[in-house]
Amino acid sequence: MAVVLVDAGGTNIGSVRYALQRLGVDAALTSDAQTIRNADKVILPGVGAAAPGMARLHELGLVELMRSLTQPVLGVCLGMQLLCERSEESDTTCLGLIPATVHRFVEAPGLRVPHMGWNRLKATASHPLLKGLDEHSWAYFVHSYAVPVGNYSLAVADYGGEFSTVIARGNFHGMQFHPERSAAVGATLLKNFLEL
């Protein structure tokens, strides 16, 4: 099975790659369009801001390619947000694959932004990506912007209100948390993606 990590400049690429190696998969890091097109599974990792993330995809000539992929695709953290229509962060137009606008968390007493640390995942739909997820599943988050809940949501968490933590629409999937930092839960969900 050929799995590729899209080299879109995310700082979590090394840790995602290592998490996949622990599952027996050596994912190639690439920005080559043909390699991405021919892969069995495509992962778009990302840490940072939406505008530079999209600028990097444009610079590499990968925007239309990403939109045209038919194999399973997984966006991780910022990568998940880039799958959406737009982000309020610098009013950025994203890939437009998930019908949602990414919003910034609203700061409130006891709710610091960024949302950083462990939070419980609650499944809201049945999907092969969630196999093994139960009410005791926690994941590790670091983000200031979030995807609202919609008909693409598979799982949510609560931080001053519910937001999407796992999403899917067609062959496009996303995880807002860092599966590579989320111990057994993260490993399980990555394994589920590889088995799609």
CATH of the domain at 139: 3.40.50.880
Buried b (16+ CB within 10 A) or exposed e, 1-34: eebbbbbbbbebbebbbebbeeeebebeeebeee
Q: Domain residues for 41?
A: 3-194
Band of residue 11 on the pLDDT scale cut at 50, 70, 90: low
Number of domains in the chain: 1
What pLDDT score was predicted for residue 135? 87
What pLDDT score was predicted for residue 10? 65
The tokens describing 89, both together, are: 């962060």
H helix or E strand, kind and range, residue 79: helix 78-82
C-alpha distances (whole Å) from 2 to each of 20, 28, 145, 176, 195 are: 12, 8, 31, 23, 12
Strand 115-120 versus strand 138-143 pairing type: antiparallel
Q: Chain-wide mean pLDDT for the chain?
A: 95
- Compute the average pLDDT of residues 162-178: 98
Catalytic positions are: 77, 178, 180
What pLDDT score was predicted for residue 65? 98
What pLDDT score was predicted for residue 9? 73
- Compute the average pLDDT of residues 3-11: 84
pLDDT at 8 over 90: no
Q: pLDDT tens for residues 46-103?
A: 888 999 999 999 999 999 999 999 999 999 999 999 999 999 999 999 999 999 999 9
pLDDT at 156 over 80: yes
What pLDDT score was predicted for residue 39? 98
User: Percentage of the chain surpassing pLDDT 90?
Assistant: 92
